[in-house]
Structure 1
Amino acid sequence: MLARLRREYAQLVTSGAQLLLLGVGAQLESRSGWLVCLSLMAFISLFAWLSALRRLRAVRDTPTSRIVSAAQGYVELAGRGKPLPGSPLISKLRALPCLWYRYRVERKDSDNKWHTEESGESEASFLLADESGQCVVDPCGAEILTMHKDTWHQGDYRYTEWKLIHHDPIYAIGQFKTVGGSSVTLDQNEQIKAVLAEWKLDATVLHARFDLNNDGALDMREWMLARQAAKREAEKRIVAARAEPDISLLVQPRDGQLFLISNLKQDKLARRYLLWVWAHLIIFFGALGGIAWWLQQAAV
């Protein structure tokens, strides 16, 4: 449930719950019913206020980094979205090329209520490029806000699809890390063991190289020669691994920090979260006021 709130904009979900509680309270028409519903509203509003405030602070307070000089850790990046080389990602419903998509298929029942029949989202990575460089964005686990939303109807079905598309302005906050040559840490002894293990898989070749007296077994001297050759091979592999180009990645933080990807501008995101901060705060105090009123009625 918490993962869904992160992916599908928690403020909208919790606001729906608050409206539902108001309706339940009105249907119950009792003091105890209203007190329970208003208490739940206050709790949900407090949770939603903290959630919106956390997002607002992350968007406002995290400085934007250039990809080429971004520090390892939690960063904010801004640039343009690009597909990775190869076959483009195709959206599920519209069958259009995109960087990311989410979709939902709903069906209307006899009571004119919509029920989700199918939903999902892509997990393919894409590139985020600025004037200094580019990094690979892994959207798994991200809260994604996009202006590209299509909704259409066919009979009793309603189809909704959200997308990020090629060359979208991309704003992202997440965990930045670099993998590749400069970040490779290889233990030489472990590499030697790995090389020897590979050679042992083909005993014929191993003995042909190092069984100098052809007695069918490697003595201590011959085994030392094999280890020296394995050491040289391991050193070559380590040098080759460290020569590999670095790849920068933006991924979901492990410590639960906000992982946000959007094609909305930073100031628009900040205004949206600020609006939700105030909205949930007003609902919270409104619910507290309602609780106080019902308690006062009981005392009269």
Structure 2
Amino acid sequence: MTRTSPGPAGVWFITPGHSPDRFPIAHGCGADVVLVDLEDSVPAEAKAQARRNASGFFSAPAQTRSLRGVRISSPTTRDGILDLVTVGECPTRPDVVLVSKVESARDIEVVAGALDTPSYSPYLYALVETPRAVQELPSIVRAGRIAGVGFGTADYAAATGSSKGWEAMLHARSALVTSAAAAGIPAVDSPFYDLGDVDGLRREAERVRDLGFAGKCCVHPDQLPAVTGVFTPAAEEVAAAHAIVAAAEQAGGRIVRVNGQMVGPPMVRAARALLARAQARTVQGVTA
């Protein structure tokens, strides 16, 4: 299958598919990606209704420049198969498909085979939530149609019997960002589930950003400002990056000193990447 370009990163927002009264909040929240969920946040008895609601989520009038997406159940399950049929039959289809509980590259290939047409090929993200998925990351991130990966702390903690704390999740997160970087695709972190702990949310968002994650998912509108602030480069960072790039260009690629620090090609690449993220956030309508 043809390799997909890297998909969107930044701030993601997910809302349950069986609660259409919440859809306008998602559409107006300004996140980079807004997802309707057909998986874990939807009770079993409400999944059929969530699938019926999905078409309205994708076709609602645009309020922001957010990409629209869906989280589907594993394609190895009955619910996942029904989710794929629903997405494939929607008059307006999602930009992003987040595939739950991916454990092999084949899972992504199955979804691509079910959804791709000559005129439609969504960004496919593999949601890594199990120990087996972490073990299989080197092959998962090389799937021909994969555009990015996500991490699910709740299911991973349940599978390993661990807590969802930082230390318990550090190995899996590190493996995820390492494999994603090697494949040239973004990694988006799990939601933070303590809705009342804004400081904890901000600390975790800063930690995953520093670890190499390109974005983080939110499950409540009140979480968006903190996560957006963390993943939006500060004005000082943007100014420093401009200085590094300008100095490097003037030096013709040679190692130079900028504000007392030696700057070589890796620092220049990082500065260019930061400027690209800042530009993307500006286009999205968010300023540093």
Q: Which has the higher contact order (CA 8 A, sep 6+)?
A: 1
TM-score, scaled to structure 2: 0.22
Which entry has the higher C-alpha Rg, 1 or 2? 1
Which has more strand, going by share of residues? Answer: 1
